[in-house]
């Protein structure tokens, strides 16, 4: 019910901590996406998506 009570796109109103995690995830993608090794490239992308998603919906 917490998601229904918040305002913003998709019912999300991120806090400063959540925005910091999202920004750090975006920096991680920006740094690793042009890496020649596929493990670093896709690993950075997967880690960034998981941490950004958890920051918004897990409520830690």
Residue 56 banded pLDDT, cuts 50, 70, 90: confident
42-53 pLDDT, tens digit each? 888 888 888 888
8-39 pLDDT, tens digit each? 555 666 677 788 888 888 888 888 888 888 88
Residue 60 banded pLDDT, cuts 50, 70, 90: low
Query: What is the per-residue pLDDT for 13?
Result: 64
* Placement of tokens 């920006």 in the chain: 30
SS3 of 17, please? helix
Q: Which two tokens stand for residue 1?
A: 């019910």
**Segments of 1-60 assigned E as strands:** none
How far apart CA 36 and CA 45 sit, in angstroms, is 14
Cβ atoms within 10 Å, residue 30: 11
């Amino acid at each position: 019910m917490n998601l229904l009570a918040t305002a913003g796109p998709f019912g999300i109103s991120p806090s400063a901590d959540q925005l910091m995690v999202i920004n750090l995830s975006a920096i991680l993608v920006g740094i690793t996406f042009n890496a020649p090794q596929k493990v670093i490239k896709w690993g950075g992308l997967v880690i960034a998506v998981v941490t950004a998603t958890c920051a918004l919906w897990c409520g830690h």
